[in-house]
Structure 1
């Protein structure tokens, strides 16, 4: 998989790592900014994410370091195997004096998946905009 491609987005957020962690790991909050699914921050936990567009992603928690790192598989099976996607999403939270630096990476795009790579970049930009709006709202 040496030719695999990644999408990386980074944002500085004026919120604590703990507040951001809640938004990344509590199903009712994840549904507000990402998709519906029964995520749980436990290595080996399997869950699905269901998008408003009808797509279903098969996921498994791969790494958990509370308030620092969350990583899970992000797999999409398509009717046409050329569009199958087997990737990994990793959220890295780094405390800053003003809040938290968030780095999101989706890795595992094949070289022939340029359209999926571009779609992911666009999609994650929108997801992170929704996440910022959620975090800015009162509890």
Structure 2
């Protein structure tokens, strides 16, 4: 591991949802649902697909890195000088699905982005829960 890699920070958010993995997968991969809980987008669940997330504060340029249907999704996340990777992991449980989001690559000088992600992702999870509650 390089010294620079050792200095990067990671944000992890985990939550169990009372829904099957297939339902969470749709919310993570269908653009109209992603727009309801995360940001407007042109996402497609295909390896190497480049897409953009749009928010009031700016845009995020992304590229799908890995995808395993109903199990995991990973994409690059580039915005305002931050080059990171977001990985979603879905694990079935007796009551639904354990969802784990890990965003890696925050450099020491990116404290604002790191703390923004630490506070922002739990809010996105709350919105995701609301979308799941009303989605078919």
The TM-score with structure 1 as length reference comes to 0.92
- Name 2:31's counterpart in structure 1: 27
- Name 2:107's counterpart in structure 1: 110
- Name 2:49's counterpart in structure 1: 45
Shift of 1:138: 4.2
Structure 1 gap ranges (5+)? 79-83
Separation in structure 2 between the aligned mates of residue 135 and residue 96 of structure 1, nearest angstrom: 17
Cα 1:67/1:85, change in 2 over 3 Å: same
RMSD between aligned residues:
0.9
Counting only pairs closer than 5 Å after superposition, residues 28-107 of structure 1 correspond to structure 2 as 28-51=32-55, 53-76=56-79, 78=80, 84-107=81-104
Regions of 4+ moved over 6 Å: none
- Name 2:128's counterpart in structure 1: 131
The TM-score with structure 2 as length reference comes to 0.94
Structure 2 gap ranges (5+)? none
Separation in structure 1 between the aligned mates of residue 103 and residue 135 of structure 2, nearest angstrom: 29
Separation in structure 1 between the aligned mates of residue 118 and residue 105 of structure 2, nearest angstrom: 13
- Name 2:10's counterpart in structure 1: 6
- Name 1:81's counterpart in structure 2: none
Render the CA deviation track for 1:33-82: whole Å, top value 9, x for unaligned: 0001111111100010001x241000000010000000000101x3xxxx
- Name 2:118's counterpart in structure 1: 121
